[in-house]
Structure 1
Amino acid sequence: MNPNLSFLNTFIDVSEDAFEKLKGISTFKHIKADTLIAKEGETPTKIYMLVSGLMRVYFSTESGKEFNKNFFMPICFVGSFTALIKNKPSKLNYETLTDCKVYEIDYVKLIKLCHTDIVISNLYNKIVEHIFMQYEERQLELISLDAKQRYLELRKRIPDIDLLIAQYHIASYLSITPVQLSRIRKGLKALY
């Protein structure tokens, strides 16, 4: 079975016909590291199914300071969903951290398919529910775990994170400074 169909089937059973329709509105792309796929202030039109590589979403202040909201690793959906749903400019930036392989999906065509194909509509709803649950889990981490616990949770999710992502990106995601992250890492090394 196609691995992409297998992934979609983790949400609901997707028929071959529905899968072919989704392929028809998707384009396979290789995207180089450090590429913005959705920019703050621009209205996005695409969502992405990330099949290899790492991405991040971040908010940038007027002074240029960046705050990482999330990291994405395969296989998952990436996109400025609030901006897509509202058809408004994004408040966030989505960037590749490594070279990535993605399926770029035309959002307007996806929504049109949702109106004519119940399987695709149900799949879309399940994916949006999944994204909401991930967002809620992240919010709970921020309010219930200390920085060390958040770092350990991140390492569980992305085991090689220290080799893949710059320290300042990890620190920003954890809502701490790079110096604090360095201390946490040093403390963990002392335990092992």
Structure 2
Amino acid sequence: MTDLKTFFNSLTSISPESMSQFSALFHPKVLKKGDYFITQGITAKEIGFLERGVIRAFYRNNEGIEYNKHFFVNPCFIGGYASLITGAPNQIIQQALTDCNIQVAKFIDIQNLYETCPDIERGARILAEQFFVQKEQREIEIVLLDAEKRYQIFQRDFPQLEQLVPQYHIASYLGITPTQLSRVRRKLSGK
């Protein structure tokens, strides 16, 4: 299990003093399977570091249909990033698919460190850049690749999720129906 300090130091070198101030902002939180980290319509105030577990990020349309946008697998940061940055109500819901251990901090407290801890700000920038690249890559995959290729990328990027996540969540993430996912899986297994 990768802890917060190890993960953040993997982004960029952080001084012991900065890391001490940064890690002091976080407190542990447990999410049980089915619990929400953030819901739609509220303004995000906290950011979390997922130490253990799996969280799905999804949105729900006016008819109540859910679309899985992303799976968060430890170690990683979670939260309503667009809401944190803009102050607008959150649109992407984040729900635990397994029991999760999280370290949570108020986003404003982290931002307040940027002035005196430029290494923390640099780490946050690198993290935001990584999120942007992942988001762009995902958008390209959804538009340009067929379901079979998207499924193969899912298997590569999330090898442990097939056994942990219901198939309808995987199908939603891939932008296909569960029936289509079954066909793709059958075709790739050679049956």
If the length of structure 2 is used for normalisation, what is the TM-score? 0.95
Instruction: Answer with 117-126 or 59-68: which moved more.
Output: 117-126
Q: Which residue of 1 aligns with 2:96?
A: 96
Q: Which residue of 1 aligns with 2:13?
A: 13
Asked whether the 8 Å contact 2:57–2:71 carries over to 1, the reply is yes
Aligned length: 190
Asked whether the 8 Å contact 2:37–2:95 carries over to 1, the reply is yes
Counterpart Cα distance in 2 of 1:54 and 1:161: 8
Distance 1:41 1:3, change over 3 A: closer
Q: Which residue of 1 aligns with 2:120?
A: 120
* Deviation at residue 160 of structure 1 after TM alignment: 2.8
Q: Which residue of 2 aligns with 1:70?
A: 70
Q: Does 1:169 align with 2:169?
A: yes
Asked whether the 8 Å contact 1:114–1:124 carries over to 2, the reply is no
Q: Does 1:24 align with 2:27?
A: no
Asked whether the 8 Å contact 1:57–1:68 carries over to 2, the reply is yes
Moved over 3 A (4+): none
* Deviation at residue 3 of structure 1 after TM alignment: 4.1
Counterpart Cα distance in 1 of 2:183 and 2:160: 18
Q: CA RMSD in A?
A: 1.3
SS of match in other structure, 1:42 = coil
- 5+ residue gaps, structure 1: none
Asked whether the 8 Å contact 1:147–1:176 carries over to 2, the reply is yes
Counterpart Cα distance in 2 of 1:46 and 1:109: 9
SS of match in other structure, 1:69 = strand
Asked whether the 8 Å contact 1:37–1:95 carries over to 2, the reply is yes
Correspondence 1:1-192 to 2 at 5 A:
3-190=3-190
Residue type at the aligned position of 1:181: L
Any idea what the Cα deviations from partners look like across 1:118-139, whole Å, max 9, x if unmatched? Answer: 1111111111111111111111
If the length of structure 1 is used for normalisation, what is the TM-score? 0.94
SS of match in other structure, 1:72 = strand
Percent of aligned pairs sharing the same letter: 32
